[in-house]
């Protein structure tokens, strides 16, 4: 399928935060870069003061469809993604039915193509029904039209070491990766929040850091043993950062992600008993937050993954113990990372592009995403106003979920435009139209 035939001239954007440059987008690709470009047939966009970045790629999104359309749909979730500056998302497998067969991942892939807001890459389940008992149809999902390369039981841990070893061995055949939700289930039975000083005061069952760290330690050794790729979902503790750093120093093929909310929020917020702050893994301590920031800055943690997890209001507007775990994140990720990493001097906009676009695309083996802003490359581009300030209002978001932990916070940075294969899905900060002619999945 051909890409868009539209032509846009973006004037004066700071590419990766550097010098002001013009970008000419034509036929879905970046046709020219330089100063004082001209094109009679182009729609001109004044990007003075804006930063141009490659379209963001989320390695960890919950779109909920099929089966949980009361929480989110592929349509609403990808609209939220576009508004947040994303041009590709990886849709986690814990839908209903679970994405554990070729048929379900192809359905999710087709829904993403039909929506046209971003590139939707389904994540396949590691085990049947994410129940942790037997391997799912990994090869069939990999060979399907969806070409699945990331496999995860996210929401559940693949806690059986024999099954985890077999999964790691299996995905080697097609260059896949197992994305582990690191949570030892016996150590977290009934857990409600981070185990520590606050949980002791509140009398809530604690979730110890070692429950995450012990699984990561086991799995990096398994990955080394079988020579396979391991990805660690939503790292949340300082100890986890140290284990991953150790593994990388030994040459083990492990990557890791951190969520925006774990870069900013701490378990002190749970004192409010507001279930909007209930999440898996839980919000940790201030020391953990700073260790995660340092780990992201030095490359120990490879990428940002939003873990966008919308829930119906009734699943959050209830007492803490009964509330669902999870937070929305697609429309606030850029701003939270700017607040915690760029405005603190820990990272540059070029670093931001690496952790939100280039490396996530590489982990997911998404060939036409995360590409440099260069002539001949696919025109997946986001324009950001770094000087803008805005107050988070969940009711104004494109996602169906209203469970944003950032409600009422003033954050920096605003997505002004998102170009998905040359078509503006977002213009002037608002949703425009989906891309009617998205190219086929690149092989």
SS3 87: strand
pLDDT digits (tens, 9 = 90+) for 51-94: 999 999 999 999 999 999 999 999 999 999 999 999 999 999 99
Give the rounded percent of residues in the chain with a pLDDT score beyond 90.
Answer: 96
| Summary mean pLDDT of the chain | 96
Fold of 55-364: TIM Barrel (3.20.20)
pLDDT at 439 exceeding the cut of 90? no
Residues of the chain with CATH 3.20.20.140: 55-364
Q: Looking at residues 243-252, what average pLDDT do you find?
A: 98
pLDDT of residue 436: 77
For position 5, what pLDDT does the model report?
73
Answer yes or no: is 274 a known binding residue. Answer: no
- Whether the per-residue pLDDT at 440 is higher than 90: the answer is no
Domain covering 8-52+376-431: architecture: Roll (2.30)
Nearest residue to 267 (alpha-carbon basis) of 279, 256, 257, 259: 279
Q: How far is CA 287 from the centre of its chain?
A: 23
Q: Please indicate if the annotation marks 64 as binding a ligand.
A: yes
pLDDT tens profile 111-146 = 999 999 999 999 999 999 999 999 999 999 999 999
pLDDT of residue 143: 97
The pLDDT score that the predictor gives to residue 1 is 33
60 known member of a binding site: yes
Say if residue 194 carries a ligand binding annotation: no
Give catalytic residue positions.
307
- pLDDT digits 0-9 by tens, 374-411: 999 999 999 999 999 999 999 999 999 999 999 999 99
pTM over 0.85: yes
DSSP 78-144: HHHHHHTTEEEEEEPS-SSS-S-SHHHHHHHHHHHHHH-SSEEEEPBPSBGGG-SSSB--HHHHHHS
Give the mean model confidence (pLDDT) for residues 263-289: 98
Q: Is 245 annotated as a binding residue?
A: no
For the segment 312-337, what is each residue's pLDDT rounded down to a tens digit? 999 999 999 999 999 999 999 999 99
User: What torsion, rounded to 10 degrees, do the Cα atoms 237, 238, 242, 245 define?
Assistant: 80
Q: What is the pLDDT of residue 438?
A: 66
66, 51, 64: which is closest to 18 by C-alpha? 51
Amino acid 2: pLDDT: 41
DSSP structure class, residue 33: E
Query: What value does the mean pLDDT take over residues 212-240?
Result: 98
Query: Where, residue-wise, is CATH 2.30.40.10 in the chain?
Result: 8-52+376-431
Give the pLDDT confidence of 180-201 residue by residue, as tens digits.
Answer: 999 999 999 999 999 999 999 9
What is the four-CA torsion angle of 297, 301, 302, 308, rounded to 10 degrees? -110
| Residue 234 marked as a ligand binder | yes
Q: Is 280 annotated as a binding residue?
A: yes
Q: What tens digit of pLDDT does each residue of 220-230 get?
A: 999 999 999 99
The Cβ of residue 205 has, within 10 Å, a number of other Cβ atoms equal to: 14
Strands (E), 277-401: 303-304, 381-391
pLDDT value at residue 441:
46
Does the annotation place 109 within a ligand binding site? Answer: no
Residue 290 assigned to a binding site: no
């Amino acid at each position: 399928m051909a890409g868009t035939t539209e032509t846009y001239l973006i004037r004066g954007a700071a590419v990766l935060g550097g010098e002001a440059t013009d970008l000419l987008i034509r036929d879905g690709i970046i046709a020219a870069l330089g100063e004082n470009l001209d094109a009679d047939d182009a729609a001109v966009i004044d990007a003075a003061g804006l930063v141009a970045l490659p379209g963001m790629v989320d390695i960890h999104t919950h779109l909920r469809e099929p089966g949980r359309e009361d929480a989110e749909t592929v349509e609403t979730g990808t609209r939220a993604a576009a508004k947040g500056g994303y041009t590709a998302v990886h849709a986690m497998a814990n839908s209903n039915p679970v994405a554990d067969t070729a048929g379900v991942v192809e359905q999710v892939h087709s829904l993403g193509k039909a929506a046209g807001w971003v590139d939707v890459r389904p994540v396949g389940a590691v085990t049947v029904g994410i129940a942790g008992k037997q391997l799912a149809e990994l090869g069939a999902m990999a060979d399907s039209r969806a070409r699945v390369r990331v496999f995860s039981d996210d929401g559940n841990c693949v806690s059986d070491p024999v099954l985890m070893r077999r999964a790691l061995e299996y995905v080697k055949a097609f260059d896949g990766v197992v994305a582990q939700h690191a949570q030892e289930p016996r150590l977290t039975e009934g857990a409600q929040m981070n185990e520590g000083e606050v949980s002791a005061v509140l009398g809530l069952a604690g979730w110890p850091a070692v429950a995450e760290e012990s699984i990561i330690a086991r799995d990096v050794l398994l990955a080394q043993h079988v020579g396979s790729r391991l990805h660690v979902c939503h790292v949340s503790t300082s100890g986890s950062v140290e284990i991953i750093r150790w593994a990388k120093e030994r040459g083990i093929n492990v990557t890791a992600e951190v969520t925006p909310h774990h870069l900013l929020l701490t378990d002190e917020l749970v004192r409010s008993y507001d279930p909007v702050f209930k999440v898996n893994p839980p919000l940790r301590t201030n020391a953990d937050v700073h260790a995660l920031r340092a780990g992201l800055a030095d490359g120990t943690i490879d990428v940002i993954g939003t873990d966008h997890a919308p829930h119906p209001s009734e699943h959050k507007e209830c007492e803490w113990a009964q509330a669902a775990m999870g937070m929305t994140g697609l429309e606030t990720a850029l701003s939270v990372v700017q607040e915690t990493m760029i405005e603190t001097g820990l990272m540059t906009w070029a670093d931001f592009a690496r952790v939100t676009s280039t490396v996530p695309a590489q982990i997911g083996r998404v060939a036409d995403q995360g590409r440099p802003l260069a002539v001949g490359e696919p025109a997946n581009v986001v324009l950001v106003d770094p000087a803008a300030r805005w107050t988070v209002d969940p009711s104004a978001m494109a996602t169906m979920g209203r469970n944003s932990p950032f409600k009422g916070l003033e954050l920096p940075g605003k997505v002004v435009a998102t170009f998905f294969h040359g078509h503006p899905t977002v213009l002037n900060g608002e949703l425009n139209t989906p891309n009617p002619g998205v190219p086929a999945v690149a092989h």
